[in-house]
Structure 1
Amino acid sequence: MDDLVAGAGTEVELTVGLSPARAWDLISDVTRIGEWSPECVRAAWTERAGGTPRAGDRFTARNEYADGFAATVECVVTEAERPYVFAWVVLDDTGAVDRPGSVWRYELRAAGEDTRVRHTFTHGPGLTGLRESAADNPDKDVLTGRLAQLRRNMTMTLRAMTGGTER
């Protein structure tokens, strides 16, 4: 079977009425994601080098999906450059950072007094529920449906996170 999942992704780009530093502080506070996300209901740091998140820090996240499935995942911060970039990978059961299940990234750029936020998701080569579902249902467009769902969830999360200050 050809791998149509690895490298598949989606993105959301919004301008929000916050400074880049304030937006980055909210985005990088993974302990608050449960307040904003329709899917990730909580997250907690498991390894952290200091007060400000840094590459190499780890956290776990609990995801609950619309179909009733739930999963706890381990994540590793790969980039944390305040106030410009915050990114992490979601590990699969192998725990290999270089072969993650997915890659999540926020890029922030000043836009006058506001901030332009680009939020991306890219499916990695690791084993995930999406990969298994696509393999089990080759006649259904599982990938397109999941990417659309992620895009909606990412938009909802970003809007809730920034207080609905979209411009």
Structure 2
Amino acid sequence: MNKDLSAQDFELLKGELVIALGEAVWAFSLVEKQSYFYIKAFSELPMLQILAGQSFGARVKAIGYLVQAGSCEDYHRNKIKKLFEDALKLAKRRNVLVHSPWSIWIDPRSTELRDHVQDAKQLENVNLESVRSFATEARELAELLALALAEVRKWNYPENEPKVLR
């Protein structure tokens, strides 16, 4: 290692990377959880049991059919479709993050520790900052999915809207 960089620097970067990867996985699990809420909202319990063990992509495909056949406005259908298309794109990025060999190395031009995924087939720059960005995007998408489902429920069941009693 470079004399300016210590084993402690290496361990710090590795620790940050491990935490960021864990946060990214956790954040995407929030998106996955929303898929179960959608299945439950647009179908009966047996469908939830049937789809529970399926891949995320298979669940999203089923959600598309369920939402299309469900009772909601086209505006809601289109919004949900777009959100789940975004979720599928995010799932591909998640797979790169969690299924790729990571490496921490010294950049000889800057004598700084760097991190990245060692996969020449991947075109995007995957490093600590992109992992953190991914986690933020996943949390935001999970929130948007939850809000979209709440809108559909409000549209379908306006009598259940919370009322302020004075």
* TM-score, length basis structure 2: 0.29
* TM-score, length basis structure 1: 0.29
Of Structure 1 and Structure 2, the greater helix share is in: 2
Q: Which has the higher contact order (CA 8 A, sep 6+)?
A: 2
Of Structure 1 and Structure 2, the greater strand share is in: 1
Larger Rg: 2
